[in-house]
Amino acid sequence: MARELSLRLKEDFTYKSGRIIGSMCSEPHPFAKKIFANYLEKNLGDSGLFPATAELEKEAIKMIGSLLSNDKASGHIITGGTEANILALWAARKSARKERCQVIVPASAHCSFDKAGELLGIKIIRVKLDNKFQVDTKAVIDAITPSTIAVVGIAGTTGLGVVDPIVELSEIALDAGLYLHIDAAFGGFVLPFLRDMGNDVPVFDFEAPGVCSITVDPHKMGLAPIPAGGILFRDEKVRELISWNISYLAGGEAKHATIVGTRSGASIIAVWSLLKHLGREGYDRIIKRCMHLTWKLADEIPRIRGLEIMTKPTMNVVGLTSHTLDIKQIAHELRLEGWAVALFPRHIRIVAMPYMQEKRVDEFLEDLKSVVHKLGQ
């Protein structure tokens, strides 16, 4: 079977190859992989059977909460950023109790908000960005109507890793009595460590008083095995809004505040263990390396004639673009050379993830140069 599987899966990309250069997910940390494999039977859908695992989830949420300036946060380790964003809008809708609801999101928001909108019957209003690719806060204010129930800010956009002005959004939300959700699916495991290193990181988390919930995914920059998304609510009261009593379980009555019922306890145990194993210093070291590679990419790309970067990186995401060449063709040619980059409407996204080695980044830059040269002829 091992031989058959290795043949059947040959066409898949691997993180080990260093050729996945545009993904926000990562090879899980080897320590977390081992832990995960040991606890596959744990099911937090039936927390009465696994109360000790449920306790570790509470502790993991507390640890992530303290990274995000709130160790009183309540929440869950779930399937991913999509589920987290759906849960947040669900809580917002429950707290607003309005018939017709609208949620204001930046134009840069992840498509999971559109999914949430359809599922929950919420109209998603996308508002424009300013010239730094941050949400235009005046456009947010102008978009507020009596049907508005929530505003979303992003701390690490999917396309460029940009952080919205969260403090301003917090003031807007508090003034208008609106729920504020922050999508830090990617940035939540980057910004606290950039701050540790003395970088000037603007407030993006629960320190802003209007923030009601935050998406923060251990399976992106947290290096945990998939599935491990995270939803953190400011306190238990917010989580309770979407809590359901489930009566039929073998472990006795339980409460679910997730979309799925049966869910992986192994993910949670792996996240808890990895947070303890790496500690803040471990993540600091990882982010430092990622940022070294980021600056290399951001310095070298504009030296290639015809290429530029969209904006100075805030975190380990670089947007590559061109005024003279078709970026779709560049992405296509890179794919033919065996590189998996991510294509956006106006740019190619490169993410300097922890598994990336400097020599692979050098090879990528060489191949990029050749591709651009070929297309420019």
Ligand X SMILES: Cc1ncc(COP(=O)(O)O)c(C=O)c1O
Nearest-approach distance from CB 217 to ligand X, in angstroms? 5
Alpha helices in the chain (DSSP H): 2-8, 30-38, 51-67, 81-96, 112-120, 137-143, 166-176, 191-196, 236-240, 265-300, 327-336, 358-376
For the CB of residue 274, give the shortest distance to ligand X in the complex, in Å.
17
The nearest distance, CB 268 to ligand X, in angstroms, is 16
Measured in degrees and rounded to the nearest 5, phi and psi for residue 167 equal -65, -40
* Number of residues that make up the chain: 377
* Nearest by Cα to 37 from 216, 270, 242, 355: 270
DSSP three-state, residue 4: helix
Q: What would you report as the CA-atom Rg of the chain, rounded to the nearest whole angstrom?
A: 21
- 95 exposure class (CB count in 10 Å sphere: 0-12, 13-18, 19+): middle
Q: How far is the CB of 69 from ligand X (least distance, A)?
A: 19
For residue 24, the minimal CB distance to ligand X (Å) is 5
Nearer residue to ligand X within complex by CB, 65 or 222: 222
Contacts 24+ apart (CB under 8 A), 275-283: 275/60, 275/63, 275/64, 275/222, 276/63, 277/29, 277/31, 277/32, 278/29, 278/223, 280/67, 280/192, 280/193, 280/196, 283/189, 283/192, 283/193
Taking the complex as a whole, how short is the minimal distance between the CB of residue 183 and ligand X, in angstroms? 5
116 vs 356, beta carbon nearer ligand X: 116
Return residues touching ligand X (CB under 6 A).
24, 80-82, 85, 110, 112, 154, 156, 158, 183, 185-186, 217, 229
Distance of CA 51 to the CA centre of its chain: 28
What is the closest distance, in whole angstroms, from the C-beta atom of residue 158 to ligand X in the complex? 3
CB of 162 or CB of 372, closer to ligand X = 162
Nearer to ligand X, 68 or 372 (CB): 68
Contacts of 347 by beta carbon, 8 Å cutoff, 6+ apart: 159, 160, 310, 319, 320, 321, 327
Minimum CB separation from ligand X for residue 155, in Å?
A: 8
Residue 48 C-beta: closest distance to ligand X, Å:
28
Burial of 265 (0-12, 13-18, 19+ CB in 10 A): buried
Tell me whether residue 159 or residue 265 sits nearer to ligand X (CB atom): 159
Report the residue number, 301 or 315, with the smaller CB distance to ligand X: 315
Pick from 333, 335, 305: which is nearest to 11 by CA?
335
Supply φ then ψ for residue 40, to 5 degrees.
Answer: -65, -20
Minimum Å gap between C-beta 62 and ligand X is: 22
Residue closer to ligand X by CB (options 41, 118) is: 118
End-to-end, the C-alpha distance of the chain in Å comes to 48
- Comparison of 136 and 183: residue with beta carbon closer to ligand X: 183
Instruction: Using the minimum distance from each CB to ligand X, give the nearer residue, 24 or 101.
Output: 24
Please, what is the Cα angle at 26 between 25 and 29, to 5 degrees? 140
In the complex with ligand X, the residue whose CB is nearer, 205 or 333, is 205
